[in-house]
Structure 1
């Protein structure tokens, strides 16, 4: 049996004590009792809203072969007969196991942060590095104080490339995470107005993102967006820390990994990348200029770590957008002979990602009498800038020629007031009311792009559309 961890190594790493007869090892680690697999260890983490100890019996019923629990909650485990490792603090123990994983690993480690594009770039790196070796990467957006140690602890010891996403909402949050990860390569995708309510200005956001440099391994590499206004600040910050290998990507003439040309289509795109004096044609199975920019960074990393560039470029042709991050659905409507396109951008939103999504909608061609429709909800954590950043969305919407804008949320009222009468605006106070309107108003040929901050819940609009309208088959006849 190939173990992720032997229980002997777990006890040593976590400073725990055995309770019961432990198995020789575990095949995986979970903090979710609902999705745990046979042979995995369940870490009973106490969160802000729920305590994993309360779900220990469910974890056992679903296949957990080992529990990691706290001394304080051990008496509450009652009659559970499954073996346990008992620790003072379960989250801290997971962190120590993550550190032990990093210590034993010989993988090239890449860490990704940025105001937008973190998860997309992380998934792109998984995609382009896989042909060159065994890749371990963060699941979904596991990028915080529990997601990073969990991802580290789950990393097999024979991993060739580890890819970690690092997020933050406040200053000081990246530093402890990157000190655990100790990346060989650190990427900052871009700096943009995200979580502005927690910062005085965008320079403070850049400084917080620059904390990723502080955990870089000796001789490590930094990859920065040369087109971003904060490039010079980030470049100087990296140099001040003694980092010698600073790379850049973008359209800028001085970018090391340079976008020479871009050609976008509805469902894919092509870019020409200049790297090392050579221009390479790259086909990507996903649309959008922002996707092309992420690809520059990913292919730059391929070159830095010495992976196979030809195989990486071939892999990009099969890349598809993720749920909530640009995934497209062609859905049947009417008698079944008509269809419309849904672009699911519902996972999250800030001013930069809103602009990218609007550009994606603008590049999409409606069928027949169809309309381009932007379905937009509030951007959260904007603080005193909230009214301005929502009002400012009128500029990219008008520039893109979007004539139908459907809105919900208190902050989006500001955008409603700033759009001219030439734009057909529908506004509802909440997501539920807008959902009803969308379901009853979409028509054949339409292209809908749905986007809001995660907390606004526009994923419910997407789910309702997918529930009401079945997938369109290519064998169906178009009107």
Structure 2
């Protein structure tokens, strides 16, 4: 169930209704009992049971919409009920799944939204305004949920196609529907208003925003008031009496023959009037009077803007026929939206800092409100208020003046240090005292480095702007968080005194390590859980230093640590969790105790590696592999310490064999049910007797988890006993380099599957190896390299230059968990990629499929057991092989 609705997921549309409303003709096999439980057009967000409306740039009038007509088979693979397509089916489509062919899918969506509105029997509330509309919508939705079945807009689907989409997803028997409504171009706004036809229309406020398109506040106000023209007879308009151009809004309402108006605010003539309020650093208390009744309530967010959002929500509840007094009592439990003054505590070597993420969106009014909240917060002794501001877009010719007008608010907030990003914010500095500390730049990376250098313990950092702007505030936020995680209280570089510390003391500390456990999506119930697994991973500092000594380019120094993964980063960032095989120790030791004994000795930077793993959303690593002990026991200790200080979860290695063999546990709530992923990392290297480097853990000694059937069996039994709905993945490092799987791998794999594993995802060969299906269990011998940054020996050893990224997707179908594994082939031969891991082309994908098919137990059965497809995401084409689990 989508987290935006508080009603049980129900059947919305039948096949006959869809055709009757949207027109066109059904093709394929249309089940008589076709049940549509959702509607969507975003390919990356559709769910089982949805009818998917395809998009394409021309008819949808924006290049932001990709042509999804070409990937309709993907929708059916993911259990979607039906697909609506414009024109004709793609030439390569060969299926009899239900497809509704219409003339124009964009117009068909409007028609479906309009039909949905016609059948809604409850009260429809539409909320617009310059600032606070998403928050006010969400508070109103929450309050009405306490009083009856309610549907609310998902996220902020408030634009042209978003409004009919949200209506189409509303069951007809909802008591309340609460929808966000944005200003579009005039013809779009009016069309959208005629579809939603609200019973209640609210304008939260009018501020300088979108002036690039409308020129003046007056024209912007008139545009927002177009919503009144479609108000239902006897409908109610809710207005903020304190808002700019309130009289103009009132005039527009009367011109639209609106008979019922409720106002709120501090103004003497407001219907719902604030009598008194008190502001605190984290909350507020308010006293209001409405219809001669006085009440007090508590707001769990700071600032006068939060009070006004809540007051508007109470007025909307009353207008919708709800109990506003009960709602006032419930306000203290209202949810806080992400990136709306979202607070973090980040630990630095000099102490904790408070980080406030206020980057959901920005206009001058919301910046002023955010600065006011910053001014309410008092830093601890020695701390400062540091403001980081990104420029505001769509302000038109007055942009520079509007940015400069923020100066008094910066001063009132008692900002000690100011950082600004973006050209139009430069003028702000001319309006500030010359003594103001900080820096301005149009380069967000420069500002990110400056902020990290400036901040210290007890500071309060407030970041404001829109993540959609060129200010790239996401980079700055990430730099602050990652620096905090990676700076330790004591230096990571061991000095002489630290080296003399007894190993027994260190082992005692290590035994207290928290078990590798992670809860995903704690604050909401997602509809799916996606985990990405990648193979052998190392930034390759040892290789690049060697090449540099030969006079060649060191790519890490010349291009930076982010360059090698730039072409696959989007997939990493999309995942709920990314797990990698970290095939290098993190150490600053200069000489390995095995120098001259091992052909290849790896090392990674103790600061840069964790920082850039996290920057690429890699937060969990397996350690059981042949390079983790390249610098012996001391290098292994440094690795564990570095990962722990960075907040990176590790498994497959530890202070004892029990620690090393312990499964990594990740849990996520999916549609209200807890799903548990258990992963066991192990190294199938030489036996203990032949382990000349003493890398395996024991009851008393640190080290890696060696392969052991008994230990695997016992650990699987333990996790299945302790956790419900457990899916067990084994993550072994094994096999010969640059070769297909060995007979030993096959023997080990068959035995481990019998011990109760659900899936084996191996690595270690530096290339993709065979895949096999044993009953309902899948075995992927090797997903190969992910990032190694060595020249490699693919050509010399005649090995295919391919590896794979694996993605486990878990959702629900008919109340049960539905799982699938997607293998995305990648090219990892750095002589071909110039040290940038990339997805395969269509030609290369066909080559990978042919290689795997011919090495499958039955090449004919291969095409039945797996499905080959592609997806479009972030302007990338990703080919994949889908394995049902």
Query: How big is the shift at 1:167?
Result: 0.8
CA distance in 1, matches of 2:22, 2:269: 47
Query: How big is the shift at 1:6?
Result: 1.3
**Which of 214, 218, 227 pairs up with 1:203?**
218
The 5 A counterparts of 1:113-132 are 113-132=128-147
**Which of 49, 53, 56 pairs up with 1:43?**
53
Give the 3 Å change call, closer, same or farther, for CA 54–347 of structure 1 in structure 2.
farther
What 5-or-longer segments of structure 1 have no aligned partner?
Answer: 472-479
Query: How big is the shift at 1:396?
Result: 1.0
User: Is the Cα–Cα contact under 8 Å of residues 339 and 445 in structure 1 kept in the other structure?
Assistant: yes
**2:674 equivalent in structure 1:** none
CA distance in 2, matches of 1:263, 1:173: 41
User: Is the Cα–Cα contact under 8 Å of residues 346 and 352 in structure 2 kept in the other structure?
Assistant: yes
**Which of 331, 350, 363 pairs up with 2:346?**
331
**Structure having the higher Rg:** 2
Q: Secondary structure, in 3 states, of the residue corresponding to 1:132?
A: coil
RMSD: 1.9
**2:797 equivalent in structure 1:** none
Q: Secondary structure, in 3 states, of the residue corresponding to 1:109?
A: strand
Q: Secondary structure, in 3 states, of the residue corresponding to 2:403?
A: helix
**Which of 346, 359, 381 pairs up with 1:346?**
359
**Which of 445, 460, 475 pairs up with 1:432?**
445
Can you list the C-alpha shifts for 1:96-143, whole angstroms capped at 9, x where unaligned?
111111111101000111111111111111111110111111111211
Can you list the C-alpha shifts for 1:237-296, whole angstroms capped at 9, x where unaligned?
211221110111110011001111222222222111211111111111222210110111
**Which of 365, 368, 384 pairs up with 1:371?**
384
Q: Please tell me whether residue 111 in structure 1 is matched to residue 126 in structure 2.
A: yes
What 5-or-longer segments of structure 2 have no aligned partner?
Answer: 1-8, 58-62, 487-885
Q: Secondary structure, in 3 states, of the residue corresponding to 1:98?
A: helix
User: Is the Cα–Cα contact under 8 Å of residues 275 and 289 in structure 2 kept in the other structure?
Assistant: yes
Query: How big is the shift at 1:436?
Result: 2.4
Q: Please tell me whether residue 63 in structure 1 is matched to residue 79 in structure 2.
A: yes
Query: How big is the shift at 1:467?
Result: 4.2
User: Is the Cα–Cα contact under 8 Å of residues 35 and 81 in structure 2 kept in the other structure?
Assistant: no
Query: How big is the shift at 1:365?
Result: 1.8
**1:26 equivalent in structure 2:** 36
Query: How big is the shift at 1:77?
Result: 5.4
**Which of 222, 235, 241 pairs up with 1:226?**
241
Query: How big is the shift at 1:468?
Result: 4.2
CA distance in 1, matches of 2:452, 2:85: 46
User: Is the Cα–Cα contact under 8 Å of residues 170 and 199 in structure 1 kept in the other structure?
Assistant: no
Q: Please tell me whether residue 215 in structure 1 is matched to residue 230 in structure 2.
A: yes
CA distance in 2, matches of 1:132, 1:463: 40
Q: Secondary structure, in 3 states, of the residue corresponding to 1:455?
A: coil
Q: Secondary structure, in 3 states, of the residue corresponding to 1:115?
A: coil
User: Is the Cα–Cα contact under 8 Å of residues 151 and 178 in structure 2 kept in the other structure?
Assistant: yes
CA distance in 2, matches of 1:44, 1:354: 37
User: Is the Cα–Cα contact under 8 Å of residues 374 and 448 in structure 1 kept in the other structure?
Assistant: yes
Higher relative contact order (CA 8 A, sep 6+): 1
**2:24 equivalent in structure 1:** 16
CA distance in 1, matches of 2:25, 2:413: 61
**TM-score normalised to the size of structure 1?**
0.93
Query: How big is the shift at 1:213?
Result: 0.4
**Which of 430, 444, 461 pairs up with 1:417?**
430
Query: How big is the shift at 1:312?
Result: 1.4
Q: Name which of structure 1's ranges 63-72 and 99-108 shifts more when overlaid on structure 2.
A: 63-72
**2:413 equivalent in structure 1:** 400
Can you list the C-alpha shifts for 1:147-185, whole angstroms capped at 9, x where unaligned?
111111111122111111111254443211111111011
Q: Secondary structure, in 3 states, of the residue corresponding to 2:146?
A: helix
User: Is the Cα–Cα contact under 8 Å of residues 215 and 396 in structure 2 kept in the other structure?
Assistant: no
User: Is the Cα–Cα contact under 8 Å of residues 169 and 198 in structure 1 kept in the other structure?
Assistant: no
**TM-score normalised to the size of structure 2?**
0.51
